[in-house]
């Protein structure tokens, strides 16, 4: 679902926020390095299988994390999944804390939705992300200003596998077929790993197709030639702040 126009029209008056002179964050809608495909995954628990499917062909992917959506990012199992994805060389980025539509929130709440995931990734793996995918792809000028003030670029996509909007695995695969037939210079694909079929059926198919067409499967940052993180340091040890 993509409500870009509605979202823009509903922008909160900037002078009400005290950040009216803040520049707007860049919005990334496609890759720029020719012959790259960035497969991106939002929301879900199947990183291990997706990671294996990608690394088996020498590829990398990008995982956008929520803090508290299906589960809490600070639970042991979730911490391990974040560490695993990062450790395998995939890119980690923010999908905001609780998967709220940011265009409905106050400046304070947008800041909180963004900062809590950035802090969590910093604690768990020691990196401060530089990219945020706003839930539902929704943003307005206020969201862009706050994102900019936090060092974030916003990321949408130029291809939607449709798995979160009711497509069957067969339909998602057909969508990848059509995409590859058109053979665009680059691909920035949205997938939802909340669906078991995405991880185990659609994705292996898509990977084979894209690799067969000669695309390099790279992270989002690589397909843009940008830095994935604002800072990289050592992970922290669990303490009382690790709560949802």
Catalytically annotated residues:
42, 192
Of 42 and 141, CB closest to Zn ion = 42
Q: How far apart are CA 236 and CA 78, in angstroms?
A: 15
Q: Give, to the nearest 10 degrees, the angle between helix 203-212 and helix 47-55.
A: 20
Please answer whether residues 182 and 65 qualify as being in contact, where contact means their C-beta atoms are separated by less than 8 angstroms.
no
Reported residue count of the chain is: 244
Other beta carbons less than 10 A from residue 104's beta carbon: 12
Q: How far apart are CA 38 and CA 157, in angstroms?
A: 10
Question: Cβ of residue 135: shortest distance to Zn ion, in angstroms?
Answer: 5
Q: How far apart are CA 30 and CA 104, in angstroms?
A: 25
What number of chain residues touch Zn ion (CB under 5 A)? Answer: 3
Site membership for Zn ion, residue 222 (CB under 5 A): no
Cα–Cα nearest to 158, from 137, 189, 116, 129 = 189
> How distant is the alpha carbon of residue 126 from its chain centre?
18
Residues 128-167 that bind Zn ion (CB under 5 A): 135
Count of H helices and E strands in the chain? Answer: 9, 11
Of 43 and 113, CB closest to Zn ion = 43
Question: Cβ of residue 38: shortest distance to Zn ion, in angstroms?
Answer: 16
Residues 36-55 that bind Zn ion (CB under 5 A): 42-43
Question: Cβ of residue 85: shortest distance to Zn ion, in angstroms?
Answer: 16
Of 42 and 193, CB closest to Zn ion = 42
Q: How far apart are CA 22 and CA 14, in angstroms?
A: 9
* Position of minimal CB gap to Zn ion: 42
Question: Cβ of residue 155: shortest distance to Zn ion, in angstroms?
Answer: 12
Q: How far apart are CA 237 and CA 166, in angstroms?
A: 40
Of 188 and 215, CB closest to Zn ion = 188
Of 71 and 126, CB closest to Zn ion = 71
**DSSP element (H, E) containing 217:** strand 216-217
Question: Cβ of residue 95: shortest distance to Zn ion, in angstroms?
Answer: 6
Residues that bind Zn ion (CB under 5 A): 42-43, 135
């Amino acid at each position: 679902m993509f409500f870009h126009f509605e979202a823009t029209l509903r922008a909160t008056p900037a002078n009400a926020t005290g950040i009216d002179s803040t520049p707007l964050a860049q919005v990334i809608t496609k890759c720029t390095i020719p012959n790259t495909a960035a497969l991106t995954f939002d929301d879900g628990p199947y990183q291990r299988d997706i990671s294996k499917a990608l690394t088996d062909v020498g590829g990398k992917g990008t995982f956008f994390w929520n803090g508290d959506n299906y589960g809490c990012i600070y639970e042991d199992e979730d911490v391990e999944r974040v560490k695993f994805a990062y450790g395998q060389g995939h890119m980690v980025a923010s999908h905001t804390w609780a998967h709220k539509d940011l265009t409905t929130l106050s400046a304070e709440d947008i800041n909180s939705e963004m900062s809590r995931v950035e802090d969590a990734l910093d604690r768990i793996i020691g990196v401060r992300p530089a990219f945020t995918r706003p839930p539902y792809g929704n943003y307005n000028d206020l969201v862009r200003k706050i994102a900019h003030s936090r060092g974030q670029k916003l990321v949408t996509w130029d291809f939607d596998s449709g798995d979160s909007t009711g497509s069957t695995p067969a339909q998602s695969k057909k969508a990848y077929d059509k995409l590859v037939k058109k053979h665009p210079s680059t691909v920035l694909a949205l997938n939802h790993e909340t669906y078991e079929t995405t991880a185990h059926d659609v994705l292996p198919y898509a990977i084979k197709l894209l690799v067969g067409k000669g695309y390099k499967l790279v992270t989002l940052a690589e397909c843009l030639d940008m830095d994935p993180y604002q800072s990289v340091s050592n992970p922290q040890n669990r303490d009382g702040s690790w709560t949802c």
